[in-house]
Amino acid sequence: MRSADFGVNPGLPKLAREEVSLKLFYRMCLARYFDLGVVQASEQGRINIPVYLSLGQEAISAAMSMVIPEFQIFAQHRCHATYLTFGGDPAKLRDELLGLPTGCSGGRAGSNCLQSHEGSMTMFGHHGLIGENVPLGVGAAMGSNKPTVCFFGDGAAEEDYVFSAMAFAVTKQLPVLFVCEDNNLSILTPVKDRRSWDMTKVAAALGMPAVQFSDDPWMILHETERLSKQLPAFIDCFTCRANWHVGVGTDGPPEWDRFQLVKERLAKQGLTDQAEKIEREVQERMNKLWNA
């Protein structure tokens, strides 16, 4: 079932405006090259805390941030890309990882518990209990009646309070978009060795719209726009993390490289020059950030 094109409509990129596709790629580049800086800083010993990298999974938050920028965010532990693509300050995230008081959480949250309550972005960080951000997000949506997005992984979905919180959201018809960044791993254990049930079918059985597809960003744009008008709703998005569960090491190449696939798609649309310019400028900006 898992593949780079599972459930994806291949015609969507052709329907997207050029500026939309390029803005999407810019946000993917921002998350990618920031985290490549994290890898280098960790290898140099400048970062000495556990890091949870978004490399390989950048497309999900990059696309969603273009559709639901006003949603309050309840992020999971792998949240660098979420913070950056929804408008967080890269310099403050760098300082957070370096443990500085100028960090986005005062240097106290580290990599996995990022907070942001500045400007238009409201992001509540992970607190360490896997999946706990889901019931917290549901409660916040109920108390504020503000549209809310909850990000979590396929391992977190197996915690019983996740689905009970989703069921409560259906009962109260709360404006929550539930997003599973499904990299098929709970640390190192694949889904097939952990359970026999499908989370998308469970979410649908609870009474909400539920879809499952791979992390093609144009597909994510399309489905997020559609489902944001039918909340509560659930998206299970197959993706591939490029690095260890925690840390900067790798276990070999991922199942697919979405960043490269997006570059190939942009080339087919005649946008190679523009995409290369964006990538080069973001890379230079992140190099300056980490070398400051």
Q: What is the reported pLDDT for 134?
A: 97
Residue 75 clears pLDDT 90, i.e. is over it: yes
Would you state the structure tokens that stand for residue 162, as one six-digit string? 């996740």
Q: What is the reported pLDDT for 125?
A: 83
**Helix 272-291 crosses helix 18-43 at what angle (to 10 degrees)?**
30
> pLDDT category, 265, cuts 50, 70, 90?
very high
User: From CA 55, how far away is CA 3, in angstroms rounded?
Assistant: 18
Can you tell me the mean pLDDT for 256-282? 97
Q: Which of 143, 216, 204, 154 lies closest to 179, judged by CA?
A: 154
User: From CA 239, how far away is CA 222, in angstroms rounded?
Assistant: 17
Q: What is the reported pLDDT for 161?
A: 93
Q: What is the reported pLDDT for 23?
A: 98
Q: What is the reported pLDDT for 74?
A: 96
| CATH classification code of 12-291 | 3.40.50.970
Can you tell me the mean pLDDT for 267-274? 97
Contact between 214 and 239 under an 8 Å Cβ cutoff? The reply is yes
Q: Is the peptide bond before 232 cis (omega within 30 degrees of 0)?
A: yes
> pLDDT category, 251, cuts 50, 70, 90?
confident
Residue 118 clears pLDDT 80, i.e. is over it: no
Q: Please state the pTM of the whole predicted model.
A: 0.96
Would you state the structure tokens that stand for residue 120, as one six-digit string? 């238009």
Determine the distance from the C-alpha atom of residue 76 to the mean position of all C-alpha atoms in its chain, rounded to a whole number: 9
Residue 49 clears pLDDT 90, i.e. is over it: yes
pLDDT in tens, 196-229: 999 999 999 999 999 999 999 999 999 999 999 9
Residue 277 clears pLDDT 90, i.e. is over it: yes
pLDDT in tens, 165-191: 999 999 999 999 999 999 999 999 999
Q: What is the reported pLDDT for 119?
A: 76
Using the structure block, give the residue that is written with the tokens 């960790």.
42
**Helix 217-227 crosses helix 58-67 at what angle (to 10 degrees)?**
40
Using the structure block, give the residue that is written with the tokens 């259906």.
170
Would you state the structure tokens that stand for residue 215, as one six-digit string? 């992390």
